[in-house]
Every structure is written in C-alpha cells, then in structure tokens.
Chains A and B, each alone.
Chain A
Amino acid sequence: MTWFLRNWDQVAVALYQHVAIASTALVIAFAIALPVGIWAARNARVYAVALATAGFLYTIPTLAFLALLIPLAGLGRTNAIIAMVAFALLVLIRNVATGLREVPADVVDAARGMGMSARQRLTRIELPLALPVIVAGLRIAAVTVISVSVVAAYVNAGGLGTLIFSGIATDHAPKIWAGALTACALAIAVDTAFACAEKRLRRHRAA
C-alpha cells in the first residue's frame, strides 16, 4: 500500500499507456469489424468465413500470438495493437452481424415501404436498433483488449503489465499488487461502464 502511494506516478503512467493502446486497438478493431459485420449480416457465406477466421485468431494463445508477431512487427506497441485487434475481431464481427440480423423484419420492411434508401435504413433504423447487441460486443472486446495489453508489456508495449513483470523479476510484491489490482480495477470499471450503456440502450428499445 505504501509503495503504491509513494509511486503512484509510476502506476499512473503505466495506466495511461495501457488505456492508450487498449483504446487504439478497440477503435481499429471496431473500424474493421463494423463493415465486415454489416456485410456478414447480409451474406451467410461471408458470415461463415469471417467468423471462422476471427475464431481461429481468437483461439491462438495470447503470448504465442505476440511472440509470432515479432518478426513482422518487432517489439513494442505496434505488435501489441495488431494482436489486440486480432483478438477483438471475433466478438465484434459476430455481435454486429447478429445485432443486425435480429432487427425485426417487419420494421425493416416498413422502412423500405416508406421509401428509405438502403443506406438510410442502415443508419437510421437497423444500426440504432442493433446498438444494444453491438455495445454488448464492445464490452467483451474492451475487456479482452485490456487483458491482452497486460501480457503485451512483455513485448515492450508498456502498460500495467510492466509493473507486474518488474515485480515478478525483482520479487517485489507491492509492485505486483499495484500492477495486477489496477489492471483488474480497470477491467471492472470498463465492463461496468459498458454494461450500464448496454442496459440504458436496451430499455429504450424494448418493444
């Protein structure tokens, strides 16, 4: 505890790095997953292929993935972000596609009948209605990305993992506590925030 109070600036820096790479990865992953998910929602074969690929990437053990990326991306943040994006894709693509598919067919039909173009339908009707499921996916992806970032410290990506590894190497328990507990707190906080958002969205869309 005292170590934490005396060195909270170290923790803060690590936390900041952690949030920075995690959010970057999440944004990139979502930017990829959204168009792919929209396409997959309409095309069963794309859905199958996209899920199989993303699923394959997701199954690869975290540290193995990071290690295998070294010749491609070296050590550092880029490596970590690529891995995090790869892990987050499965959940995001699946939830975007599922969320869109679950929009009631009669609602889409009504929108079409009223003369909305395909893009208008997508942006004004389908995506807004699919939002709770998409946010649920973002929630899981965010937590996944935070978890990977902890390990990514080992390939010099920075973040809260550096405290953990340093603590393990020097057998310095307070550092381990600081790094691990902060990482857990971050994960819980982010999960709770997304959960609230998800609940709020569902309430407004209940039929």
Chain B
Amino acid sequence: MLAAAWDYLLAHPQQFAKAFAMHVALSAAALALATAIAFPLGVAAARRPALALAAVSVANLGRTLPSLAVLALVMPLLGTGFAPSLFALTLLALPPLLLNTIVGLQGVDPDVVDAARGMGMTPRTILRRIELPLALPVMFAGLRTAAVQVISGAVLAAFIGGGGLGDFITAGIAMMAWPQILVGAIPVTLLALAADFLFGRLQRRLTPVGLRAA
C-alpha cells in the first residue's frame, strides 16, 4: 500500500509540491497574521481588566467553534480560494494565541512586578524586561497549539478551495483511491508532528534559564 502511494507521489511530483507548498504557505501566513493580531492585543488587554475579560470571553467562545463550521461559514461570505481560507484559518488560530498571551502576562508573579516598579522601572521597561520574558513560555505554548490547529484546519480548507494537502485526501476518499489518500494524509501528519516538535523545542529554548525546571 505504501509502495503504491510512493508510486503515485513520484508520478505526480508537481501536483504534490504545489499542494504541499500551498499548505505550508496557508498555515504559515495564518499563523503569522494571527500572531501579529493576538500578541499586541493580548499585551494591551493584560493590563486592563475589563478588556482582558472581554478578550478572554471572546477567545473562549472562539475556541469551542468547530473548525469546519468556521471554514464553511466563510464561504457564503467570501467565496472560495486562498484568501477566504486564510481568513478562516487566522480566525481559528486567534483564540489560543490571545488566551495564552493574556494568561501568560497575568500569571507573572505580582511581587516581582511590584519590586520592579518600586525600584523605579518605567512601565515599558517592566513589560519588556520582566513581564514578557516571564510570560514567554506560556505564550509560546499557545503558539504551538495554534500551529498544530492551523495545519489541521488547512487540511479542511480543501473544502473551500484553499488547496493544500487536503485535496489529495478528499479526492482519494471520493474515489476510494488509497494511494492518493496516503499521499495527502501521511505528509500532513508529519508536517503537524514536525511543527509540534519544533515549536516545543523553540519554547524550551526561549524559556529563560532561571525559569526552567531544576
């Protein structure tokens, strides 16, 4: 079975390369966009309790929505293709990023912040040198979760014309063609696992030495 899949892959190299590239592009773009929105928003919200509460509520709500439902809802509004898929995937990636940014910042030991303030650090310095480094592990855990979610969601983007490795899977299921299914399913699984592993490594590397479990 694997041999048949490998043959199929060799027979359609450009198709595969294109789908793979599209998948990675879609995922990376959605993740980057979501990060660019969520991190600043989270930083701003962490200091204002009312805003934090609202942001956390919305993010929690967003977290519960089924991924395919979100993707499907985008279609009647924005049509099919790359842009609507990117929009939907960005929406899917926002909740974990926003939540983890806020929770991470709010979780910094208040005594440490009090000491920093009492010693005469400006609010911006406190954010830059104390709060963000200490919140980074949690924020990165959110990034890791979001990355896996986006890669998984990008598979579903095949249903709204977003391209990517999902195309192989859906076509394979429709035609009951096993090699095609594998050509889609295995690489995307490896992609997700690789992303999880890499972000996990990155998270550990970026955790300040003083915080790492002894």
Contact = CB atoms under 8 A, between A and B. Distances in A.
Q: In the complex they form, do A and B come into direct contact, defined as C-beta atoms under 8 angstroms apart? A: yes
Given A151-B68, A187-B66, A61 B76 contact: no
Contact of B66 (A60, A63, A147, A155): A147
Contacts of B184: 64, 67
A164 interface: yes
| Interface size range of chain A in the complex | 35 or more
Nearest to A148: B66
Contacts of B60: 191
A187 B73 CA distance: 15
A127 B163 CA distance: 47
B181 A180 contact: no
A176 B76 contact: yes
A67 B66 contact: no
A100 interface: no
B42 interface: no
Contact of A179 (B61, B72, B182): B72
A187 B173 contact: no
B67 A154 contact: no
Nearest to A75: B173
Q: Max chain B CB contacts within 10 Å: which of A59, A60, A61, A150? A: A61
Interface in A42-87: 56, 59-65, 67-68, 70-71
A116 interface: no
A61 B155 contact: yes
B169 A188 contact: no
Given A68-B185, A154-B170, A61 B151 contact: yes
B101 interface: no
Contacts of B196: 59
Given A67-B169, A67-B172, A60 B192 contact: yes
Contacts of A26: none
**A interface, by DSSP: helix, strand, loop or mixed?**
helix
B152 A61 contact: yes
B147 to A, nearest CB: 10
A164 B72 contact: yes
B69 A61 contact: no
Contact of B193 (A56, A63, A70, A150): A56
B178 interface: yes
A150 B68 contact: yes
Contacts of A62: 67, 152, 155-156
Contact of A67 (B1, B65, B72, B173): B173
A128 interface: no
Nearest to A173: B76
Contacts of B182: 68
Contacts of B126: none
Interface in B187-207: 188-189, 192-193, 196
Contacts of A143: 63-64
Given A187-B64, A188-B61, A191-B64, A63 B72 contact: no
Contacts of B68: 147, 150-151, 161, 164, 180, 183
A70 B179 CA distance: 12
B75 interface: yes
A80 to B, nearest CB: 13
B173 A150 contact: no
A59 B66 contact: no
Contact of B189 (A61, A71, A180, A181): A61
A65 B91 CA distance: 23
B84 interface: no
B200 to A, nearest CB: 10
Interface string B152-171: 10011001100000100110
Contacts of B193: 56, 59-60
A167 B72 contact: yes
Given A150-B68, A150-B69, A180-B68, 6 more contacts: A63-B156, A64-B186, A150-B67, A151-B68, A167-B72, A180-B66
